[in-house]
Structure 1
Amino acid sequence: MAEFDFAQAINDARAKYEEIALALDTDRLRKEEHELEVEAAAPGLWDDVENAQKVTSKLSAVQSQLKHLQSAHNRIDDVETLVELGCEEDDEETLAEAQAEVERLQQDLDDMEIQTLMDGEYDERAAVVTIRSGAGGVDAADFAQMLLRMYVRWAERNGYKAKVMDTSYAEEAGIKSATFQINAPYAYGRLSVEGGTHRLVRISPFDNQDRRQTSFAAVEVVPLVEATDHIEVPESEIRVDTYCASGPGGQGVNTTYSAVRITHIPTGIVVTMQDERSQIQNRAAAMAVLQSRLLVLRHEEEAKKKKELAGDIKASWGDQMRSYVLHPYQMVKDLRTGHETSQTQAVFDGDIDDFIQAGIRWRHEQRREAAAEADE
């Protein structure tokens, strides 16, 4: 077994730390922290609960970034001291401990680096995710529900707040569609790489002849709209329908017209919402999602115009972005990044951070190449 090169590993860790600190701009973060602390200490902060939550959430995120940066800096110094001590005393146990810490540190720095790659216009926003079953009948509806559970479990694993806003249940099993919101800094930046068509291959549990079935589900991810986005939706451009909520629930479900469906007539976008108990709350939530989708549509149109001016730029997202194969072998593979794992159950239990990080790195590289081509 080759001897571990502590000097090279520590130098690499220090160099990566410096790159991360430069990209995140620690001076800017400290200035932002001070400004947010002043806002958070204002006497009338909680007069506007929504704004107060936004300020405190952002302050917590900035403080967390600074804390992680300082911790990484301290850990590099500490492990360097530990290596010196182990070498001086020729202590194999201390050196083994140091090697384990260096490897953990390298992994943590890789995770921190991801933060620097989420530099899109809306990446720091909360995310609204919609999952729709596609081709494949009842298996597709079941697959859509498996994906919903996967993302909710992913949010729970990371300590993010996930709220299911609307669910349309299929007749036999699974769901036709579901919309949920992830309230966390950079939720959109992370989950936007999950957008696209997902494919499942397995022996169908709904086929009495145990035949292999391929089914599809679509995942749409949009950033949560904010008041500053100025997405105006005239009443003349929408049609609002109300109906009884469906699916499992307590008293009041299927008895009151609390569910809301909003159709944006110019684009044909339809948003349904039934999670809240009152029609007013569901209408407000549906309008927020509609505005988010219109925001993305506007952004895509602007990007399309830029692409036309710059010429044909590759880096488009393919329809099918990930395959989940449960038969004849176990494999989940991202078709864009090539990242794969045989731990299929872990993935469906929400262990998808490696896929998300690989997607973020892939997207960053695609953006970099596209920008380079545009400059030529």
Structure 2
Amino acid sequence: MASIDFSAEITQLRSTLSSIEQVTDIEALDAKIVDLETQASAQDLWDDVDNAQKVSAALSHAQSERRRISELASRIEDLEVMVELAAEEDDADTFHEAENELVSIHRTLDELEVRTLLAGEYDERDAVITIRAGAGGVDAADFAEMLMRMYLRWAERHGYASKVMDTSYAEEAGLKSVTFEISAPYAYGTLSVEGGTHRLVRISPFDNQGRRQTSFAAVEVIPLIETTDAIEIPENDLKVDVFRSSGPGGQSVNTTDSAVRMTHLPSGTVVSMQDEKSQIQNRAAALRVMQSRLLLLKKAEEAAERKELAGDVKASWGDQMRSYVLNPYQMVKDLRTEYQEGNPSSVFDGEIDEFIDAGIRWRAEQGKSDS
């Protein structure tokens, strides 16, 4: 006899899936797939490679999202049949199999539910992440490199494309800063909750006396702008310097002045690019990231102005949003959501989905309380 009330659980699963279908707007999604399929079948599609790649990626994502919802509906139906068979034959093994499938369906529904919370203006965009070493000397530089690997491993686990755009190496070890792009549907909306100050506590591998060291790194996440975004930057507002790309320890890895440093004079915003082979390519990449940062800055200023007009004097979240503790105990804890993991190694190896999901839910709740 099953210890779980499968009837109530299946009713709840159907209710949750129905809510997700309403938020997703299945009819609109189906219409979008038909439109993208028409674009993808055009004979001249690949005359514009960039547009072709965007259409193909958008179609693949839309089809995948539709398929996940359809497959979930089928899995719930199959679960109901499995439970009926188990009850008829009083089969403990089948009941156990049904329990495992119930847990799996709940997990998949949770993931889809989180996706429905990504409805921001730029949430669908690719993400540009910049990590900067903070206080803590060489440990902070090493921590910055650990965080870069963590996010790149996360992208790899999900099959998302990533590209390092600029790297500034520290003298002894690690990175002063790094900027990289992650290309995936809703990459910005998903990863934007990772923005903030991250703290590492451990026995420093760079300290001869083996003392515990606390170090910090700042993570910035911005959406990658598209050519349709109306962000015009007057040429007079930009200062562009060119220099040679360099590797660890300042070693030259390029014999031409192909790297570009772009400064937006009114705001003081600086972007460096050295990943591409030519100065023209690095300048174009730098301009896109500069536009992305200025776009986000503009939106932040508008939001701050709205809050001031509304009389909102509530303090925002402080600098430190997550702690990675390796000594005297092992724990990674998000200080906003209270979510924590006891295995820092797996977290640094890219297993951060639970932190991200908790962050997205936390942000949605904050939005409700502020409205």
Find the aligned partners of 2:262 and 2:92 in 1 and give their Cα distance: 67
Kept after mapping to 1: 8 A contact 2:165/2:181: yes
Q: Give the superposition deviation at 1:310.
A: 2.5
Kept after mapping to 2: 8 A contact 1:331/1:344: yes
Q: Which amino acid aligns with 2:10?
A: I
CA 1:34–1:300 in structure 2 vs 1: closer, same or farther (change >3 Å)? same
Matches within 5 A, 1:352-367: 352-367=352-367
Find the aligned partners of 1:67 and 1:2 in 2 and give their Cα distance: 31
Give the equivalent residue in structure 2 for 1:206. 206
SS at match of 1:229: coil
Kept after mapping to 1: 8 A contact 2:169/2:248: no
Q: Which amino acid aligns with 2:362?
A: W
Deviation readout 1:312-342 (Å, 9 max, x if unpaired): 1658332110000000000000000000011
Structure 1, unmatched stretches of 5+, are: 372-376
Within the alignment, does 1:94 sit opposite 2:94 as a pair?
Answer: yes
Find the aligned partners of 1:370 and 1:170 in 2 and give their Cα distance: 41
SS at match of 1:337: coil
Kept after mapping to 2: 8 A contact 1:196/1:218: yes
Find the aligned partners of 2:194 and 2:274 in 1 and give their Cα distance: 25
% of aligned pairs identical?
63
Q: Which amino acid aligns with 1:269?
A: T
Within the alignment, does 1:145 sit opposite 2:145 as a pair?
Answer: yes
Kept after mapping to 2: 8 A contact 1:315/1:367: no
Kept after mapping to 1: 8 A contact 2:260/2:272: yes
Q: Which amino acid aligns with 2:88?
A: E
Q: Give the superposition deviation at 1:34.
A: 0.9
Give the equivalent residue in structure 1 for 2:265. 265
Find the aligned partners of 1:236 and 1:212 in 2 and give their Cα distance: 48
Deviation readout 1:242-263 (Å, 9 max, x if unpaired): 11101069x9824111110000
Find the aligned partners of 1:146 and 1:228 in 2 and give their Cα distance: 35
TM-score, length basis structure 1: 0.96
Q: Which amino acid aligns with 2:331?
A: M
Give the equivalent residue in structure 1 for 2:133. 133
Give the equivalent residue in structure 2 for 1:326. 326
Give the number of equivalent residue pairs: 370
Within the alignment, does 1:25 sit opposite 2:19 as a pair?
Answer: no
Structure 2, unmatched stretches of 5+, are: none
SS at match of 1:365: helix
SS at match of 1:332: strand
Q: Give the superposition deviation at 1:302.
A: 1.5
CA 1:314–1:69 in structure 2 vs 1: closer, same or farther (change >3 Å)? farther
Q: Which amino acid aligns with 1:32?
A: K
Deviation readout 1:168-194 (Å, 9 max, x if unpaired): 000000000000000100000111000
Matches within 5 A, 1:224-235: 224-235=224-235
Find the aligned partners of 2:314 and 2:109 in 1 and give their Cα distance: 30
TM-score, length basis structure 2: 0.97
Deviates more, 1:240-249 or 1:130-139: 240-249
Give the equivalent residue in structure 2 for 1:109. 109
Q: Give the superposition deviation at 1:157.
A: 0.5
Find the aligned partners of 1:45 and 1:131 in 2 and give their Cα distance: 37
Give the equivalent residue in structure 1 for 2:74. 74
Give the equivalent residue in structure 2 for 1:58. 58
CA 1:163–1:315 in structure 2 vs 1: closer, same or farther (change >3 Å)? farther
Give the equivalent residue in structure 2 for 1:316. 316
Find the aligned partners of 1:52 and 1:109 in 2 and give their Cα distance: 31
Matches within 5 A, 1:233-272: 233-247=233-247, 253-272=253-272
Find the aligned partners of 1:155 and 1:252 in 2 and give their Cα distance: 29
Give the equivalent residue in structure 2 for 1:185. 185
Q: Give the superposition deviation at 1:2.
A: 8.5
Q: Which amino acid aligns with 2:217?
A: A
Kept after mapping to 1: 8 A contact 2:171/2:248: no
Deviation readout 1:143-167 (Å, 9 max, x if unpaired): 0000000000000001100100110
Q: Which amino acid aligns with 1:274?
A: Q
Q: Give the superposition deviation at 1:60.
A: 0.8
Deviation readout 1:16-73 (Å, 9 max, x if unpaired): 1111111111011001111111111122211111111111111111111100000000
Give the equivalent residue in structure 2 for 1:374. none
Kept after mapping to 2: 8 A contact 1:141/1:176: yes
Kindly report structure 1 stretches of 4+ aligned residues shifted beyond 6 Å.
Answer: none
Q: Give the superposition deviation at 1:4.
A: 1.4
Kept after mapping to 2: 8 A contact 1:337/1:359: yes
Find the aligned partners of 2:90 and 2:328 in 1 and give their Cα distance: 51
Find the aligned partners of 2:310 and 2:166 in 1 and give their Cα distance: 40
Kept after mapping to 2: 8 A contact 1:315/1:370: no
Find the aligned partners of 1:9 and 1:343 in 2 and give their Cα distance: 31
SS at match of 2:324: strand
Find the aligned partners of 2:295 and 2:314 in 1 and give their Cα distance: 23
Deviation readout 1:206-225 (Å, 9 max, x if unpaired): 00011111000000000000
Find the aligned partners of 2:311 and 2:90 in 1 and give their Cα distance: 62
Q: Which amino acid aligns with 1:336?
A: R
SS at match of 1:122: coil
Find the aligned partners of 2:116 and 2:316 in 1 and give their Cα distance: 22
Q: Which amino acid aligns with 1:161?
A: A
Give the equivalent residue in structure 2 for 1:167. 167
